[in-house]
Amino acid sequence: MSNLINVPKNGSLSNTNSNLNFPSWSSWIDEIFNRDVASVFTSNFNTGMTLPKVNIRETSDAYFVDMAVPGMKKSDFEIHLEGQLLSISSEIKDQNEFQEDNFTRREFGYSAFKRSFTLPETVSEEKIKAKYNDGILSVHLPKKEEARQKPPRTITIS
């Protein structure tokens, strides 16, 4: 009885008599290096915080920007409007020092983010409001009166 081993085109060895599919060394190494490692390096790992998720919605009379930023205080945020550019940012620096008889432990922390949005010209800039509640920063961007959607009406024919 002879054991024949099939060698597929990718060069890995597989035993046709086995129901187990073990990856070859080359495919295993390729899998490690071809994973989506780039996403790790494109995140803001050096700032200590990733960009918070944002939901933007529009109603007939306003836009709403809701940002998920749990664990923060409203004093941690800065919101600026320059021209049509709305910027929401935060920068937190933390330093703790603990001393005991024969050692000192110091811990430093830093986290920051900045999100910017170009506003449509229909936003009434003077009436923009923001509030922070239960980990959600909400920015209310009311539309100018002339930009608000009017309810449909019937026009009579003369």
Look at 133 and 46; give whichever has higher pLDDT: 133
- The answer to whether 115 touches 130, Cβ cutoff 8 Å, is no
* Residue 80 resides in a domain: yes
DSSP state of 41: H
Same domain? For 22 and 54 the reply is no
Written as six digits, the tokens of 88 are: 């929401």
Mean pLDDT (whole number) for 70-85: 92
Look at residues 155, 127, 154 and name the one whose alpha carbon lies nearest to residue 141: 127
C-alpha span between 120 and 71 (Å, rounded)? 31
Q: Does the pLDDT at position 4 exceed 80?
A: no
Average of per-residue pLDDT across 138-155: 87
Q: What is the pTM of this model?
A: 0.59
In a shared domain, residues 53 and 121: yes
* Enclosing domain of residue 4: 1-35
Domain assignment of residue 58, yes or no: yes
Rounded distance between C-alpha atoms, residue 142 and residue 81, angstroms: 14
Predicted pLDDT of residue 43: 44
**pLDDT for res 20:** 54
85-99 and 129-133 strand pairing: unpaired
* Average pLDDT score over residue span 98-119: 86
Whole-number pLDDT of residue 39: 47
Residues 19-38, mean pLDDT to the nearest whole number: 57
Report how far residue 150's alpha carbon sits from residue 143's, in angstroms, rounded to the nearest whole number.
Answer: 12
Q: How far is CA 91 from CA 15, 22, 49, 78, in A?
A: 57, 48, 10, 9
Label residue 53 by pLDDT band (50, 70, 90).
very high
Q: 44 pLDDT exceeds 90? A: no
The three-point CA angle 50-52-54 to 5° equals 150
Pairwise pLDDT comparison (103 vs 12), residue with the higher score: 103
Residue 38: predicted pLDDT: 47
Total of domains in the chain: 2
Which of the two residues, 147 and 135, has the higher pLDDT score? 135
Q: Is the pLDDT of residue 114 over 50?
A: yes
- 51 shares a domain with 30: no
- Give, in order, the Cα–Cα distances in Å from 21 to each of 12, 14, 105: 11, 7, 51
Residues 99 and 27 in one domain: no
- Tell me: do 88 and 143 sit in the same domain: yes
